[in-house]
Structure 1
Amino acid sequence: MNYWLMKTEPSTFSWDDLVRDKKTGWDGVRNFQARNNLKAMKKGDLAFIYHSMEDKAVVGIAKITKEHYPDPKDNEWVAVEIAPEKKLKRPITLGEVKADKRLSEMVLVKSSRLSVQPVRVEEFDMIIALSEKKIKE
Structure 2
Amino acid sequence: MKRLSFFILMALLTVSCSDSDDEIDPENPDLVGTWLLIEQYSDPGDGSGEYREVDSEKSIEFLEDGIFKSNGELCDLTIETGTNTSGTYVMNDTIVTQFSEENYLMPEECDIEDFKVYYHIEEGSLILSFPCIEGCGQKYEKK
| Smaller-chain TM-score bracket | under 0.3
Structure with the higher fraction of residues in helix conformation: 1
Specify the structure having the higher radius of gyration (Cα): 2
Structure having greater relative contact order (Cα 8 Å, sep ≥ 6): 1
Structure with the higher fraction of residues in strand conformation: 1
